[in-house]
Chain A
């Protein structure tokens, strides 16, 4: 079970869903805060869902206020970076570039992709945490080899 958990985590890293920052977060986890990473993840997804909503609405309006979109995305990127969500972060960067270029279509496309990445990551992490909890607390704190 624990090995399974470790493997899953490893694959997340290997596939580029997560980066070293996630490991940093795991380092912060200890006996006093055994579920820290999971808590942070939950917080991240909650907050980013809100951001995604805002961006969705802004895009739907069709007015394409690039400044505003860029600022939303800056926030999004900040959170994603902090949690180590590298694919999401990459999409954020792309989105911002399109914003700066004033490329509405590019923004839309990228945002669509971003949402996909975001929800994929969320599912994977949820699965991972679930398993980790089942496997035992120690597992989550272990770094992938």
Chain B
């Protein structure tokens, strides 16, 4: 249930209320009693409150109203989505401060809140005094963004900066003005230096108030961002250079800087899982193919970016898929489906192209470039890259398993053939029709349980098939993991997560389905994956992959809209992805979702993966999308990934690919849900 905010402040309805009155708060809690009490309290504080009892709903609200809220308060334990997942999504996609709350005051949970980036943690019962001061988090965040932009050499005039700094300080009646001042000074001096060097100015910087317009990191934008970061090297990427490379009018260094911060946080989280892997990926990729290299890394980043963007992946994926597959609105149910589909289509393209020659002989030759791009994903040649890309794509889309990606792409095809379930039919259907995807996706959601069950089935089937495939590229597998994890440890975690998911096909599906959109699923999947990865070793990847594929199949069938969907999507996505292109972003998400208690790092990894995957998919798919009319309307609305992917593809310059994959006998219908 959502109540639109009741403004009780003097200027209710306007965003220019003096702090803190009029602060737009979104409160999420499944407990109606608490929700009602909180709403009352917040209104008494003169805030504009919107209450919501479901996390998915909250996320979609946030996405629809990009700048509609200043702060989010969320419960930790919610049935449809873990509060921490929501926290991460919000942080990545909307960059809003999030306050966690719970009756649980154990240190571990509070710590989790901290590590996930919550700006505060309230213990229930929440008293109104605690709510009176939440505005400080909003102010603090905005200040930090300012500082970041300064540090990155924003072209804020000194005077302007001064003014800006002062304004927030005054407006917020902030006691930390001294701190800010210090920051400002240091940043401004840095800025001066940078300005000398940097020709670009952030002309659009709105340095006049705290309420600077929030930049929406669309999928394309994020793709560009990730591409730039990858080119520069994540460690050396500075906002100024990124901005230059992105060459996006209206984008300020400050925007880039804050976005970079977030991105780095994700990378760091992912890195925690398997840093070395990430490194390896990089080496792989670069060695193999320059185009891939960036792609791979891009994918990894893309995933993150996507994670950040959240919405983007979904859309982009949708678009990509739509374009690539030429399918229309496959995914009817919630976003989750679209991303899956999109991803799948994207991946399918790539995979088939890259490797399908082996398995299916239909190798999509959409474009060498594409293939190469995808390479990361499937071609045995560049398993690493491919894996990386696949992973990313997959992850983005359906949470493709990293390891699998590389191989899975190729394998997917082969697997598809083998999969009785409809692997082949699935693949074909997947590749060719998004609708399949969507249906499968939708089915998944509907059949959370079914998905789960199906997963085991698919797994079995997939395993044999995939094994063979994998065998082809024994080396690839391990490598795949790496490339996939362009973000350190990303690939591995992803694989791991897949495995786990696969292994625990059982109930996972349902649990994390909550991800609101496509983007969300990705995150979840990644998260789960990363966790799993940690738990499992690469060795298991192969198995996972197989399983994933199987899962993907099963998942694909299920509807994506519902929570179940999300989990199932992850599964199906992965399978479909694998088949298609290893665009298992959804799978990733599903996996992620299933793994409700993902560690932060995992989540990040997942995100990274997903983003990377989806992003890559996009880029690769750009060409494809061009040729293929976006069939999936679903995707378009929901998945930024599509956009992201297309953006990526465009960037990659991949020639349009023939989106019509000929997945032999893939038929979503065949996929048992």
- When distances are taken between beta carbons in the complex, the residues of chain B under 8 Å from A74 are 77, 103-104
Closest to A39 in B: B36
Interface assignment of B211: CB less than 8 Å from any CB of chain A: no
**Which of B33, B37, B40, B104 is within 8 Å of A47, CB to CB?**
B33
Closest chain-B Cβ to A54's Cβ sits at a distance in Å of 11
Q: Are A83 and B128 in contact (CB under 8 A)?
A: no
Closest chain-B Cβ to A31's Cβ sits at a distance in Å of 13
Closest chain-B Cβ to A74's Cβ sits at a distance in Å of 6
Closest chain-B Cβ to A51's Cβ sits at a distance in Å of 10
- When distances are taken between beta carbons in the complex, the residues of chain B under 8 Å from A25 are 37
Q: Are A81 and B124 in contact (CB under 8 A)?
A: yes
A78 to B34, CA, bound (A): 8
**Which of B30, B104, B124 is within 8 Å of A82, CB to CB?**
B124
A24 to B104, CA, bound (A): 20
Interface assignment of A4: CB less than 8 Å from any CB of chain B: no
Interface assignment of B125: CB less than 8 Å from any CB of chain A: yes
Q: Are B34 and A79 in contact (CB under 8 A)?
A: yes
Interface assignment of A11: CB less than 8 Å from any CB of chain B: no
> Are A43 and B33 CB-contacts (below 8 A) given A33-B40, A74-B104?
yes
- When distances are taken between beta carbons in the complex, the residues of chain B under 8 Å from A75 are 30-31, 77
Give the most central of A47, A77, A82: most B CB within 10 Å.
A82
A-B contact count (CB 8 A): 57
For chain B, residues 117 to 155, give those with C-beta under 8 angstroms from any C-beta of chain A.
Answer: 124-128
A28 to B125, CA, bound (A): 14
0 or 1 for each of A81-117: is its CB under 8 Å from B? (1 = yes): 1111000000000000000000000000000000000
A74 to B104, CA, bound (A): 8
A64 to B514, CA, bound (A): 26
A133 to B127, CA, bound (A): 26
Interface assignment of A36: CB less than 8 Å from any CB of chain B: yes
**Which of B34, B103, B127 is within 8 Å of A24, CB to CB?**
B127
Interface assignment of B177: CB less than 8 Å from any CB of chain A: no
Q: Are B125 and A24 in contact (CB under 8 A)?
A: yes
- When distances are taken between beta carbons in the complex, the residues of chain B under 8 Å from A79 are 31, 33-34
A77 to B75, CA, bound (A): 13
Interface assignment of A65: CB less than 8 Å from any CB of chain B: no
Interface assignment of B290: CB less than 8 Å from any CB of chain A: no
Interface assignment of A44: CB less than 8 Å from any CB of chain B: yes
Per the CB 8 Å criterion, the residue count for chain B at the interface is: 20
Closest chain-A Cβ to B36's Cβ sits at a distance in Å of 6
Closest chain-A Cβ to B43's Cβ sits at a distance in Å of 9
For chain A, residues 25 to 45, give those with C-beta under 8 angstroms from any C-beta of chain B.
Answer: 25, 27-28, 33, 36, 39-40, 43-44
Majority-rule SS of A interface residues = helix
- When distances are taken between beta carbons in the complex, the residues of chain B under 8 Å from A48 are 33
Interface assignment of A15: CB less than 8 Å from any CB of chain B: no
A36 to B32, CA, bound (A): 14
A29 to B84, CA, bound (A): 32
Q: Are B124 and A71 in contact (CB under 8 A)?
A: no
Give the most central of B77, B102, B125: most A CB within 10 Å.
B125
Interface assignment of B41: CB less than 8 Å from any CB of chain A: yes
A24 to B40, CA, bound (A): 11
Give the most central of A25, A71, A75: most B CB within 10 Å.
A75
Interface assignment of B44: CB less than 8 Å from any CB of chain A: yes
Give the most central of A39, A47, A78: most B CB within 10 Å.
A78
**Which of B37, B44, B77, B127 is within 8 Å of A40, CB to CB?**
B37
Closest chain-B Cβ to A66's Cβ sits at a distance in Å of 16
Closest to B40 in A: A28
- When distances are taken between beta carbons in the complex, the residues of chain A under 8 Å from B41 are 28
Closest chain-A Cβ to B38's Cβ sits at a distance in Å of 8
0 or 1 for each of B1-38: is its CB under 8 Å from A? (1 = yes): 00000000000000000000000000000111110110
A133 to B331, CA, bound (A): 53
Closest chain-B Cβ to A39's Cβ sits at a distance in Å of 7
Closest to B123 in A: A81
Closest chain-A Cβ to B221's Cβ sits at a distance in Å of 39
- When distances are taken between beta carbons in the complex, the residues of chain A under 8 Å from B37 are 25, 28, 40, 82-83
Closest chain-A Cβ to B514's Cβ sits at a distance in Å of 15
> Are A81 and B36 CB-contacts (below 8 A) given A27-B128, A75-B77?
no
List residues of B whose CB falls within 8 A of some A CB.
Answer: 30-34, 36-37, 40-41, 44, 75, 77, 102-104, 124-128
In the complex, besides A36-B40, A40-B36, A78-B124, 4 extra interface pairs with C-beta distance below 8 angstroms are A47-B31, A71-B77, A78-B77, A83-B33
Chain A to chain B contacts (Cβ below 8 Å), 11 pairs: A27-B128, A28-B37, A28-B128, A36-B40, A43-B36, A74-B77, A77-B103, A78-B77, A79-B34, A82-B34, A82-B37
The 10 A-B residue pairs with the shortest CB-CB distance in the complex, in nearest-first order:
A78-B103, A79-B33, A44-B33, A21-B125, A82-B34, A81-B125, A28-B40, A82-B125, A79-B31, A43-B33
